[in-house]
A and B are shown apart, each in its own frame.
Chain A
Amino acid sequence: MRALFSLFAVAVIIVVVVLAVTTDAGRLFFGTILPYAAIAIFLVGMVYRVIDWARSPVPFKITTTSGQQRSLPWIRNSNLESPRNKWGVLGRMLLEVLFFRSLFRNTKADLKDGPRLVYGDAKWLWLAGLIFHWSFLIIFIRHFKFFVEPVPGWVMMIQNLDGFFQVGLPIFYITDGLILAALTFLFLRRVLIPQMRYISLAGDYFPLFVIGGLVISGMIMRYTPLRVDITDAKLMGVGLVTLDPVLPEGLGAIFFVHLTMLTVLLLYFPFSKLTHMAGVFMSPTRNQANDNRVRRHINPWNPEVKVHTYEEWEDEFREVMKAADMPLEKDTESK
């Protein structure tokens, strides 16, 4: 149901775009106005989100330790899993952000007869997630060529690596295939695994469909007879980023679908779980060192609390302590 709703929403957007861009007003709206609005909302929204998170302090150093602490000199500290210093934290964060270290640990529990609980490797989610994110990044970088002139060498290099196998004409980009496969996997596991279906919200399917629409419309433009003239696409791209928007005639509906999928993604981003892109950097269990006993962490709102002081305590128990011949601070009889 929640999946269908999201699919329906994306379908409606596509139909609206296809119909709207038959008119000049529609082309202006979906080709210029909405993209600018989306970029602004995305950038401001994400920056606002991050600053809003940062407005709350981290009162305690609650590092999740996934490895041996630093203690005695002859015990080997696992600096990447239980960082003793900021380099360890940096390494841990890089492993997390670039290679999804924690997800790599994933296991799948099975209850067998006996009863026997067994934990099998479950790396598919890690692999699909990694492929999806890396492909997205590479595709994103490849698209710089539509927005800048001259095209920098490193963008060309990434593009050429992506088309390394030189299959098809135009050359098939490896990331196009990978991202589609990864998206399919991520979608299928959500609908086919009962627990996944159970925990999934509309907001979990929606971005999958939007990104799916984005990828498929892009591939249609490159690999099928609905190909668009990419020079026009670039003229438009450069026009957008130089605040001199143009709407070349030759760009068909499929181009506007592609552009709108991106626009929708940008608009949706700051208000959704997609903020994990920034949030992962701010997770207090990962971005702090396990040096609690070496460096005192300061809680800016450390409250005054009512405590039971020793004096109050001794006052309450003086008689019994005296009877038990325990040391006292104040001996009543000596008064």
Chain B
Amino acid sequence: MAESKPKPEILAKVDYQPPGDDWMELPVEIRPGTFNYAANPANAKYLDLPHVRKWQPTDDDWQLPENWQEIILEGLHDRLKKYRSLKVFMDICVRCGACADKCHFFLGSGDPKNMPVLRAELLRSVYRRDFTTAGKILGKLAGARPLTPEIIKEWFLYFYQCTECRRCSVFCPYGIDTAEITMMGRELLNSIGLGIDWITTPAANCFRTGNHLGIQPHGFKDSIDFAVEELEEITGIKVDAPINKKGAEILFVSPSADYFASPHYYTLLGYLALFHEIGLDYTWSAYASEGGNFGLFHSADMMKRLNAKIYAEAKRLGVKWILGGECGHMWRVLHQYMDTMNGPADFLDQPVSPITGTRFDHASSTKMVHICEFTADLIANGKLKLDKRRNDNVNVTFHDSCNPARAMGLFDEPRYCIEHACNHFNEMPENTIKEQTFCCGSGSGIGTDENFEMRMRGGFPRANAVKYVHDKHGVNMLACICAIDKATLPPLMEFWVPEVDVCGIHELIGNAMIMKGEKRTTDLRGEPLPGMEESDADESGEVKEVSEDV
């Protein structure tokens, strides 16, 4: 893993001209920096995955099981029967090319097989050969090709160079969703033991301990307790952060990175401060201590296995409804899969904000509300005292995370929160935000060090849009609501726009929020809080006034 890291000026030279004239002839190149390591056999075994073995993508022989072709073709057949999406998407693409330059990996690498249309053709060509009349008769002429070990390598490379971000599907005239194809491709690869470690290991950890990082219950408690202490140091307020508390009104679930990684951690402090300030009766869970779900990146079954904990825990604890933290793919699962897979949640109540009384009708079946929806409602009802000036040291732009954007339509809620917490907010160009947002380049389980070059390439369009607002408006803070973003945007920024930092929305909220009885001079990062450091007279007066209310 000690390859020399690529340089921005080299990666910025992208050639979009396809090489040769037939992609089927193009050899597969497993090049350092552009792939992910194979799954750790012990963890794969723990999850009862098939055909576990020790191998690496750099090996010549991937030791495919003897009947691998049969497994793949039967698996494809099976999935065609189970997913109309796959079947329709295999048949109706007209190769209009509208998707080609919509993929961040194509824009960042110029590799033609990263055009969504060709990524799908990698699978489609095999489908045609074995499942369509034209392909059976005409073969290559009809765009069909026989399944070879080389194709398996190609799938492995390119289905792990897709972050399932769905940007292409917004532009496709038939709504063909490459994420769906990539998901099928990955399931097929997993069926012959070709998983990657960055997905398998977090999934195994999550299955066992409740979270991706494999933090055991007491460790989880330590982390939360530590955050509580830290928040007390910053604000002078000791908040309560109950864990596994039966009978609480609300179960709060957030991605595990929030209590273990930076800058996620400051968002966690923001949550804790917020919940204290509004006096929310809630609980964390050590069993369901992960909202994220790397099963989504593995297979539908794995997604279900990991997701099952959330409803089970809500039921066990007897809460009324569930609140979900800032995370991208977690919300894809919660919004589009959870109720179908592990519902119905008929043991929960219709979510109602205990603070504002707002009924969250849009979550009446799933019974899970996004924290940005929750907070936006608090702000709209005047339940928070926000001093925007406290965020005057940041000039914010907002990165719509792929899943909340294109699998949920969560656009205005986070923006409303930012606008009420910050004075300086500048949007990136319209072709790079909202439904057209660009992926961080590291989502869907491929945010590894060994894949660094590809991540920087894939994140290039996002970073380039940040650079635009950085240069134009002096933006120095990239806000987002996704744990993978918070983990992978900082290195991306460091690579392409070193002057920009990354934060979560509830970090901004936590900074701007005037808490009753607070004594603070620093923001959640321990850096001087604007307005609180110099003009003590003004600001302390205001704070004192608030304190007196307590």
Q: Interface residues, chain A, CB within 8 Å of chain B?
A: 1, 5, 49, 52-72, 74-76, 78, 81-82, 84, 96, 100, 102-103, 105-109, 111, 115-117, 119, 125, 129, 189, 193-204, 271-273, 275-276, 279-280, 282-286, 290-299, 301-303, 305-310, 313-314, 316-317, 320-321, 323-324, 326-327, 329
Contact = CB atoms under 8 A, between A and B. Distances in A.
A198, A297, A308, A313, most chain B CB atoms within 10 A: A198
B409 A298 contact: no
Given A199-B95, A292-B366, A295-B365, A56 B335 contact: no
Contact of B365 (A125, A129, A296): A296
Contacts of B81: 55-56
Chain A at the B interface: mostly helix, strand, loop or mixed? loop
A195 B92 contact: no
Chain B contact residues (Cβ within 8 angstroms of A): what range? 35 or more
B88, B98, B107, B180, most chain A CB atoms within 10 A: B88
A145 B409 CA distance: 47
Contact of A53 (B87, B95, B216): B87
B362 A71 contact: yes
Contacts of A116: 464, 468
6 contacts: A63-B407, A70-B362, A202-B143, A203-B134, A271-B134, A313-B210
A202 B360 CA distance: 52
B96 interface: yes
Contact of A109 (B101, B335, B362): B101
Contact of B174 (A283, A302, A308): A283
Interface of B: 12-14, 16-18, 21, 23, 48, 80-89, 91-98, 100-102, 107, 112, 115, 117-118, 121, 132-134, 141-143, 166, 169-177, 180, 207-210, 216-218, 221-222, 243-246, 286-287, 300-301, 304-305, 308-309, 312-313, 316, 335-337, 339-341, 343-344, 358, 360-368, 370, 373, 376-377, 380, 405-413, 416, 429, 431-432, 435-436, 460-461, 464-465, 468
A196 B461 CA distance: 22
B251 to A, nearest CB: 13
A293 B366 contact: yes
B384 to A, nearest CB: 15
B121 A199 contact: yes
Nearest to B373: A71
Nearest to A198: B18
A297 B336 CA distance: 9
Given A71-B373, A273-B95, A292-B335, A194 B171 contact: no
Given A279-B88, A306-B305, A324-B217, A68 B340 contact: no
**Cβ-closest 7 pairs across A and B:** A69-B409, A279-B92, A65-B409, A324-B218, A285-B175, A82-B409, A119-B431
